[in-house]
Structures are given as structure tokens and as C-alpha cells.
Structure 1
């Protein structure tokens, strides 16, 4: 691990730790995003509507048109109670506050009339007494609201039993309630609060508090109390976590066991707002007992009385994004309990999500640092897909709410932060490598250099290289016939094509010297079998040049073909970055480089386009080679034995080349022995060579004049390097 990588890992892990702490603190923005995610789940798969015995008697616009504006006098509400009771309603729950005296009561209306006799006033009907008498002895549940003033607490109509410690501090707080008329309190079978989301800053109702607490007593909500009265139950049984104080896990009401949050809230799993859920209050109050379908809908049902009329300000927003009457959410709460289709967010969900941020974030930091941002991104996408799929499946099949968004967002932040650091710091050296070598190396070699520490340090190393020099024949003559721009075009076409053969065979392009190319193998990184790869590159250049000539790529016409000479030598050289810290070239120097250059120059004398040294020939594998003699190269005290490259391994294995090689060896032996038989053998070998490779004609035409090159002992002239 490099220092830059270590710093990158530490920075990445610090970011992961910060994101983990942020999620543990659970700021409002993350909670909002989590709630939006759960809303989307409900929109994709809402709770199916079922025809359960729950109805809303709706004081709708039609009812107000028929019976007058709201508020109705309470004798009319008494008539509504009586009618619903006659129809067989199991419970009648009012989502309406009865905090003030009925101002439309006849006794109230005439009370302030001057001269009214008290006896006459007492004989006038009182709507509050009528309503209290109507609900007395009937399964009627009244609602109360929350207040910021006073200290009123409604009476409790049911008992509470606990398994474990009493969880009075778990539910939302009830500081004060809106007072109910005393006669209503006494006559009602049950009392429940009607607040749907008292502590939530959101307008969307997602969780309904089934209980409120003042620290000493618990108060059920309207839906819970309606369900209790419908079953004739007298007690709520509350279960809490044994290892966590002041929590509630379940509430048992008669035959129903309801899973709740630690604060006693029910995650509301809503269904579409269907017309089948509603019955118009006007139809219930219709003469002659109302239509038959109304009686069938009400019979045996838990009935909630409320209003959907515009202007009465009881419209709420559900997780589905629908605006519905508040009373319908009380009905949906009971429907959800009756259907047994609950949503729950386990107590350990927060811990799991925090842990997933820490683990996934750390994994992404390691992958981004040590593998590649692409692999890290792919893994991040897999983690994202898994988180989304797991969260969705848990919701769909188990009603469990797990937040996939926080781990995904944390993973994105971690990945892009680690990627940015790697790009700006860790990969800076690799970008320098690409700028220096991108045009001169094959992608595989470039990748290996990028992952080699200190690949671009200034200085050189002694290592075995295979060096190649390539030169264009008769370039001076060609350039004299062309304009300067045409010369440039010719060189670009030729050198670009030839350099590709070097790169494709894992060579390093050192430099272009006018019409020449210098390349080498086995640096900056090791290249296995580098002599044979250099020879294959030379053979590829021969074929490339033939194709360019055949299609007249240079525009010289079919009568003039471009030729090249290639010299290859394997030996020890110093290779590295040479120059200044700010401006350097990667190159090789040494005697082996000079030998390769001299071998390329010898191609003219030998009359062959590819020559290799004896060292390269021994290491190049089973290529088709012909001995070309030992030449005195400039600057060398001894002669250098050279070989002409005829073809690759498959060519060397052919019967035709085997025959040529046999005759060639006889010719070489005759030249070494200064035998007069060499002329006869030369004639034979020329015939075989012309049939096998036309390019050998010039080689054999000159070989008779170079008999001294095949004599083992160098002459004085050879030793002088002339």
C-alpha cells in the first residue's frame, strides 16, 4: 500500500464514520426522505380494500343541502344515533367534538328573551339532554381533542393491564383536552381522542397514536375505543419490551392483537378511498327507515360519524397522496386491525441501517482504493439493487419497513469522495504514465506500468533488452521528389502503420528519428520472450509494408515500392527516464543499442530486410532463420554474426524451408572452406529461394561477394572495422 493509498483509505473511512454518526443522529431531512420512501411503497402496493364491517356515516354536501348547514342541532344527531341503533350498528363513534352547549337548543335560544318565565323555560326541550338520552345505554363512543389550555382530563371508560412495567412515558403526551359536556361523558360507552398526528410536522398522516399519556393515565384513541366497545371488552392489555423500559410493542383489544411502535403508534397502511366505505348521513335520516341498502351497510358495522363537507377543515393527506376526510382514517385504522395487515418498523431497524452504512461504506472505500472506481461502482450498484430489493420484499411480504435510501446515499457519497481523491491524488502518477507512454505502449504494458511503484523515477536501470532499429531505404531520393508536406504525409502513413506492429507485440516505441524508428522490448516492465516478440513485430512490419505498397497507400504508383531495413539485437542496456525532472524521455542507451543500429545499417550490404544478431537468434525460438555471415560493425573490434529472418515458426516448420535451409547450410560450409563447389550450390539455392521467397534473390546475389563474412577467423580489415 502506497502512502497516497493509505491516506485515501483513512479519509474514506473518516467520511464513512461521519455518515454513520449522521445517520445515528437521524436528522429531519433523513427522516423526511425515509417517510417519502415508505409512502412510495404504499403507492406501489396499497392495502387492498376489503368489504369489512366498518362504515363512515358522512355528513356530506348532500346531507347539508337537505338538512341545513353545520353544526346541526343535537336533536338531529340524536335522531341519527337512534336510526343507526335501529339499523343494528355495532358501535357509533363520533369524530365530532361536543365541547360547547348546543346554541340551537330551544331552551338556549329563548333563555335571554326578556320576561321569559323560568317555569316555561324549563318546559322547553334541551337538545343536549335529548342527545345525552339518545346515547345513553347505546354503544356510542365520543371523541375529544387536545388543548393547550386548562387541565381537563376526560374520564377513562376502560381499564389497562400491563405485562412488565407500566409504559406511561412511552406514548405522546396529553397536557390537556377539550372538555366534554358532563352529561355526554356520563352517557357515552367510550371516550377516545381524535388526534391523528399531534406531534408530526408533516401534513401526511402516516402513524396514528393509539394511546396518549399524561404520565399517570393512558387515553385510547377513537378507533381503538370503538373496537373495544364493539367487542364488549373492558380492558386493554399492553405488552412492552422486557429489556427496554417505557416501550410498547403490542396492544391487545379483545380478540385482536395490534403491533405498534415503541410509542404506541400504529403505522397506517391505507387503502384507496372507496365509495363503498361511506354512507351519506342524509340517507340514514331519510324517512321510513332509509333505503334498504343503507340498513344492510350499517347492520353489524362499526360506524364512524364525521364530515367530508368542504369548509369544515377535516381533510387529511394519506401516504397515497390522497386528500380524504379525517374520519375515514379512523375507519381505516379499524379496517387494518380487522384485516390483520400491519406495517411495522422493528426496533433494530435503525441499528441495521447504521451498520449497513458502516460496512458498505468501508467496502466501497477499499474497492475504490485498491481495485478500480469502475469495479467499486459496479459493487455499489449491486449493493443498491440488493438494498432496494430487500427493502421492497420485506415490505411486500412481511409488512416490514426498512430504509434503503440512507445506505444508498451514504454509499454514493463515499464512492464519489473516494473516487475524487483517487483521481486527484492516488492516480496522479498513473496519469503521468499515460501521458508519457500512452502513444508508445500496448494497453497491457501500460496497465502494468501504471501499477508499478516508482515507474517514472528519474534515472536508469541496467537490464537485458531486445532493441530494434527500422530505417526507410532510399529516403533521400524519395524526399527530393516530394514537397515538404508530402514528405510529412508519407512518413506519417508509414511510421504510424509500422509502430502499431511494435505496440501490438508489447514493444516500447522509443523515438522516431527522421525516417527511422527505435523500439525495444522488456522495459519499462518485464516482457516474457521479448526476442521472439521483437522478431514477430519485424515480420508484421514486412507484411504491413507489403499491404501499403500493394494498395499504393503512398501515392507513388505501382512501379515504385517503398523498402525498409530492420536490425534487431539482444543485450544489456541502461534504460530509464533521462533528462530533467520536469521534462524527460524514457529511452535506452548502451553498446547493445549501438549494435542494433549497426545491424540495421548492415541490411544494405547483406541485401536482406530483417537481420538479427546471433544472441537474438538463439533466443527467438524456432523462427525461419538463415545465416548471413559475420560482419564487422562500425565501432566493434570483432565481427558480429548475423541471421536473416525469413519467416515465423510455422514457416520454419514447412518442408520447403527445410529443403532451403539444408542447401543454405551446404553453401555456407562451402564458403567457409573456400570451396569452388560454392558456385554450383549457389545456383541450386537461388532456384529454391526464388520459388520460396522472392525477397531472398538480392541476398543470394550478394552472398558470393561476401565469402569472407563466412570465414571464422576475421581478417585485419574486419578487425579494423572498415
Structure 2
């Protein structure tokens, strides 16, 4: 092991590994430099847990002469029998090293040893990567060197684990902040906040298609069901909309009880109103079908659900609004207010999807004129449109 080269690698990592701008590139360069310094590495893995509602963690695998493999695992891995008997499970739970020399019969307790033997691996060590707050991630190191790792080589791996943990902690914190912002405020809003748009009053205007929906009969439903059941129903109901909205270029800004506010931005330079409205309508039809198919067993009865959706096109103010140090990144403006009024009209008319005259005039979706209605807070009445393929039903209470 070349001690001078090892120190250079450690200093490079402490300095932020600037020659490798992405985590996979950093891992590739680090492992290649370690091999040149005399560390006989074969398959190396780094396993990083994440703060994400769907993803338990990310993994990175390096082998000589190959691209770094990356992937994710969901939270179900915690219940898998394979993970329970993995060395990594011990590292995560106890924060200790786990070694499996393949010539040691005791290593047979780890099923992964069989796979490693098939690759010609002679030694395996899982090393904790400990953050400054004590949070533990893990790394695995293998070699095909006869006799396994030497004590000097193991010490080199342990010395690398410390700066590697710091590098991963910094990258993970930035990534976690981005993921949390995406999860709780939406992708575009998250990008703006990460970009420094954090002060109250920081706002921009944009043209967008506005989506405002509401679950019919929710008040009566929540009055007669346990709170836990209501939350479960809401999650199923929102699932019917969120994926359709995101798949068609929209961004969910806010959940308001059983209500949902989303926007589909219009590019001011492309002038793509027709394409945007077409995607919005596709998302609306997909959401309508999903909610119509949704049912929930309630004792001997089966609850079925309906929702109302108002679509409008207009200019919104998009930015930070709030009081003191508690802010919300959302959109406001007359266009949003009009969408909210239209959603109430949809309920009175027994319609699922309604649109303003401006949206229906741009979207070629087969609209029927439902009449002109006075709008509270607006001086002018608004003509409202409904889909041809939708018959009105009795409004839910």
C-alpha cells in the first residue's frame, strides 16, 4: 500500500472530490485511485439511506473496468428475509464492522458468501459510514487477493471510510433537502427555494392551467368514519389524481383537506396553451376514471366516491406568502379564485369536470355549454362548460 498516494486520496475527498462532479464519478475515481495505490479491490458497494416516503435507500456498485451501477430500494426491504441475514443489516442496526473471510466456516452464516465465492472473492468487510450526528450508512469491500485483505489494507479501508462518510453526508443533505422540497412543495417550487427564493414577497407571475378539485360528500363521510379511515380514503383518492397530474406535466401545489390545487405552467416563449390544455384534459379523464373505480368497504356497505374538478387558464402570482418565519410557496390571484368558484358550481350542477370559457375555448375536448353563472366576488358572470361524455348526477351533500 502506497501511504503517500493514500494520503492524497484522502485529501482529495476532504476537498470535495472536485474532479468528479457526480457521486458515481467520485466513486469510480476513488476506487481506481485506491487500486493504483496498491489496494486489491474487486466489488465495492456504498449504501445510503434516504429520507423519502417511498425510497429507503440508494446503492452504488463499482467493479474494475465497469460503469458504476446505481439503484434504489423501497422500504419493503426492511421486511425481506434476505436483508435480515445480510451483513449490512448488522452495520445499520449496530454501527459495527462485519467481516466474512470466505475461508472461515463461520462466514457461511451470511448467504451472500455463496455469491461472492462464485466470483472468486476471498474476503469481504462491511464498514459503517458514520455521519456527524451518529447516523449510520454502510459500505462493503471485497477482494480476490489470495488470503484476503492484509491488516494494512484493512486499515487503509477504514481510513478511507471517514472522509467518504463526510462526502456522502454533504451530498445526501443537499439531495435530501431537494427531495423533501419536491415532496412537500413540488418540483418547480423546490427548485426556486433551493435557488434562494426564500424571502416573503419573492414571487413571480406565470400563465398556467389551473386544476382545483374536491371530494364530494367528504364532510358527511368524515363525520361517520374513524379519523384513521378518513386518512386512508384521502390517500387513495389523491393517488388517483397526483400521478395523472405529474405524468402530464403538472405540479401539485397544495392539499387542502379533501381539496387539491395544481398548476400546469405555460411556456411564455413557446405559447403552448393548446398542448398544455390537452395534457390537462387527459389527466382529468384519467383521474375521473380512477376515482370512479375507487371503492371502500365500510362494514356491510361499499362506499363509492365522486369528485369535482374545475379547470381554468390564467395568470397567477407564484411565490412566498405567509407571516413571520412561516411561509408557504403557493399561487394566488383572480384566476385561482375563479377556479375555486367554478368547482363549487360543478357540485351544484352534479358535474365531475367543468371548465371556464377560456379553458374550453382552447381545449378541444368536446365541451357543452352549461350556461352563464354569476361568480361571487366577480363583477362579470362566467360561462361554464362541461364535457359531452359526462351526464350530470345528483349533487352529493
Shift of 1:610: 0.6
List aligned pairs for 1:431-510, cutoff 5 A.
Answer: 431-439=176-184, 441=186, 445=187, 449=191, 453-459=195-201, 460-482=203-225, 486-510=229-253
Matched, 1:632 2:361: no
Judged with a 3 Å threshold, the aligned counterparts in structure 2 of structure 1 residues 453 and 488 are, in CA distance, closer, same or farther, namely closer
Gaps of 5+ in 1: 1-32, 36-349, 392-403, 647-692, 703-722
2:125 counterpart of 1:381: no
Question: How far is 1:382 from its partner?
Answer: 4.2
* Cross-structure match for 2:282: 536
2:329 paired residue number: 586
- Is the Cα contact below 8 Å between 1:578 and 1:587 reproduced in 2? yes
- Aligned equivalents of 1:633, 1:422: Cα separation in 2: 50
Distance in 2, matches of 1:361 and 1:487, equals: 49
* CA distance in structure 1 between the partners assigned to 2:352 and 2:251 by the alignment: 21
1:698 and 2:392 equivalent? yes
Aligned partners of 1:490 and 1:598: how far apart in 2?
25
SS in 1 for 2:312: strand
Distance across 2 between alignment mates of 1:489 and 1:512: 15
SS at match of 2:17: helix
Query: Would you tell me which structure has more strand in proportion to its own residues?
Result: 2
* Residues 554 and 378 of structure 1: CA distance in aligned 2, closer, same or farther (over 3 Å): farther
User: Alpha-carbon deviation of 1:596?
Assistant: 0.6
Is 1:522 the counterpart of 2:265? The answer is yes
The alpha carbon displacement at 1:510 in A equals: 3.0
Query: What residue ranges of structure 2 are gaps of 5+ in the alignment?
Result: 42-152
Q: For residue 593 of structure 1, report the CA deviation from its aligned partner.
A: 0.8
Distance in structure 2 (CA, Å) of the matches to 1:448 and 1:487? 29
Alignment of 1:177-192 (within 5 A): none
Q: How many residues align?
A: 280
Give deviations 1:428-468, integer Å, cap 9, x for gaps: xx644543441453xxx379728952144433222223222
Deviation at 1:533, TM superposition (A): 3.8
Post-superposition Cα deviations, 1:393-412, rounded to whole Å, max 9, x if no partner, equal xxxxxxxxxxx999999987
Q: SS of the counterpart of 1:366?
A: coil
CA distance in structure 2 between the aligned counterparts of 1:619 and 1:407, rounded to whole angstroms: 65
CA distance in 2, matches of 1:586, 1:447: 7
| Alignment of 1:576 onto 2:319 | yes
- The structure with more radius of gyration: 1
TM-score by length of 1: 0.32
Secondary structure in 2 aligned to 1:586? strand
* Larger helix fraction of residues: 1
593-602 or 475-484: bigger deviation? 475-484
Task: Choose the corresponding residue for 1:557, options 295, 301, 306.
Answer: 301
8 Å contact 1:617–1:643 — kept in the other structure? yes
Distance 1:593 1:408 in 2: 57
1:372 aligns with 2:115: no
**In 1, are the aligned partners of 2:294 and 2:304 still within 8 Å (CA)?**
no
| Cα pair distance change 1:357/1:487, threshold 3 Å | closer
**Alpha-carbon deviations, 1:288-345, whole Å to 9, x = none?**
xxxxxxxxxxxxxxxxxxxxxxxxxxxxxxxxxxxxxxxxxxxxxxxxxxxxxxxxxx
Give deviations 1:115-170, integer Å, cap 9, x for gaps: xxxxxxxxxxxxxxxxxxxxxxxxxxxxxxxxxxxxxxxxxxxxxxxxxxxxxxxx
| 8 Å CA contact retained: 1:438, 1:446 | no
Is this contact kept in 2: 1:571–1:592, CA < 8 A? yes
Q: 1:456 to 1:626 in 2, by over 3 A?
A: farther
- For 1:137-176, what aligned pairs fall within 5 Å after superposition? none
Deviations 1:611-663 (A, max 9, x none): 1223333554x5444444443322222232333346xxxxxxxxxxxxxxxxx
Structure 1 residue 613 and structure 2 residue 356: aligned?
Answer: yes
